[in-house]
Structure 1
Amino acid sequence: MQTTLKEYIPEKAIPKVLELLQHDGLVVKVKQERKTRHGDYRRLPNGKHQITVNSNLNSYRFLITLLHEIAHFEAFKNYGKAIKPHGIEWKRTFQHLMLPFLNPEIFPVEILPLMAKHFKNPKASSDTDIQLAYALKQFDAPNDKTFIFELPLHSTFKLYNGRIFKKGLQRRTRFECVEIKTGRLYLFNPNAEVEILND
């Protein structure tokens, strides 16, 4: 486990993470990229608990995702299965787990204020925190993806599944985008990652 984790999380975080993972019934697996989620937690039929995290995440996002899923495990263990997946018990557990990691030895100084703000009331996904998601993206390996909020109005973009859209106006928090093929209107989060197409 330790050698695997060393590849994915900041070095100074390793001892604390290993401490959190010292449960007989907890299995952590690193998976290929999944477009719809960064990680997940499941209670397996055999009574064990499994956490999966995507291998393509940068080390800071990987650590946040891993702790997010460990918080699901801890909340389940401490409060039982009747709790809401991202309810108050999970939020408090996640905050408690995250606190020792919020220091400049582990996270870059420029991210820390955004993380402190986010963890006052953590959301089901850090991706919904636009500022934090954008700050974390700066540490990704270079790729051809752009956030929707960065695209010019009326520009066309492609999703991972090949569907093509045109960006429209912002409606409160999300952007109206029209699918070119069907003419149907969809709402996109500002920090959905897409591939811009040259008109």
Structure 2
Amino acid sequence: MNNALEPYLPEQAFAPCLELIRKEAVHLKIVNSRQTRHGDYRKLPDGTHLITINAMGNKYRFLITLIHEIAHLVAFKHFGRNIKPHGKEWKYTFQQMMLPFLRPAIFPMELLPLLARHFKNPKASSSTDTPLALALKKYDAEELHGHFVFEIPEGSTFRLYNGKVFRKGPKKVKRYQCLELATGRMYLFQPHAEVELLNQFG
């Protein structure tokens, strides 16, 4: 576990994370990247706790994801398994578990104010917090070859990783309303969703 986990975490976060994994008896699997999620937690039929996290080059996102998933385990243990997965009990647990990591020895200074704001009321995914998501992307090991939805003009067409093609529409509160061309259905996209631009309008 030591050798497998160490490359994915900030240096100063490695020892406390390893201690958490041992304390909570977590079976951690690092898997090939999945587009739909960064990680997940499951209690298996034999009672063991399995956490699966994408292999990623961004150590800060990996750390947040790891603590996010361990917080599910701890919240269920303390408050019972009938709580909402991302309800107030999980939010409180996640806040408390992240606090020791929110310091300059672990995170870059530019991320700390965004993280402090995020953890006042943590969301189910840091990807829905646009300022934090955009700041974290700067530390991705992979170079971005696509575009963010907010960057492309309204009326442009774009493709997702799964091959579906959309036309960008107007902004509705915080997200963009986009038309799936094959079905005529409307979907809402986060401003920082990464897409492949096909035809720029305007």
TM-score bucket (shorter structure)? over 0.9
**Residue 192 of structure 1: CA displacement?**
1.8
Instruction: Name the Cα RMSD after superposition.
Output: 1.4
Unaligned runs of 5+ in 1: none
Match of 1:72 in 2: 72
Q: Secondary structure at the match of 2:188?
A: strand
Q: Is the 8 A contact 1:154 1:168 kept in 2?
A: yes
Q: Is the 8 A contact 1:67 1:98 kept in 2?
A: yes
What per-residue deviation string (whole Å, max 9, x for no partner) do you get for residues 118-171 of structure 1? 000000111110000000011112021322112222222110111111111101
Structure-2 separation of matches of 1:112 and 1:58: 16
Task: Give the TM-score of the pair, scaled to structure 1.
Answer: 0.95
Q: Secondary structure at the match of 1:95?
A: helix
Match of 1:35 in 2: 35
Match of 1:193 in 2: 194
What per-residue deviation string (whole Å, max 9, x for no partner) do you get for residues 163-198 of structure 1? 111111101121111122333322212222212224
Q: Is the 8 A contact 1:27 1:50 kept in 2?
A: yes
**Residue 57 of structure 1: CA displacement?**
4.9
* Runs of 4+ displaced beyond 2 Å: 180-185
Match of 2:115 in 1: 115
Match of 1:157 in 2: 158
Q: Is the 8 A contact 1:111 1:136 kept in 2?
A: yes
Amino acid paired to 1:163: K
Amino acid paired to 1:125: S
Q: 1:57 to 1:45 in 2, by over 3 A?
A: farther
Q: Is the 8 A contact 2:68 2:94 kept in 1?
A: yes
Q: Secondary structure at the match of 2:4?
A: helix
Structure-1 separation of matches of 2:119 and 2:38: 18
**Residue 24 of structure 1: CA displacement?**
6.5
Structure-2 separation of matches of 1:163 and 1:82: 36
Unaligned runs of 5+ in 2: none
Structure-1 separation of matches of 2:4 and 2:170: 44
Q: Secondary structure at the match of 1:190?
A: coil
Match of 1:50 in 2: 50
| 1:90-109 mapped onto 2 (5 Å cutoff) | 90-109=90-109
Amino acid paired to 1:164: V
In terms of mean alpha carbon deviation, does 142-151 or 83-92 score higher?
142-151
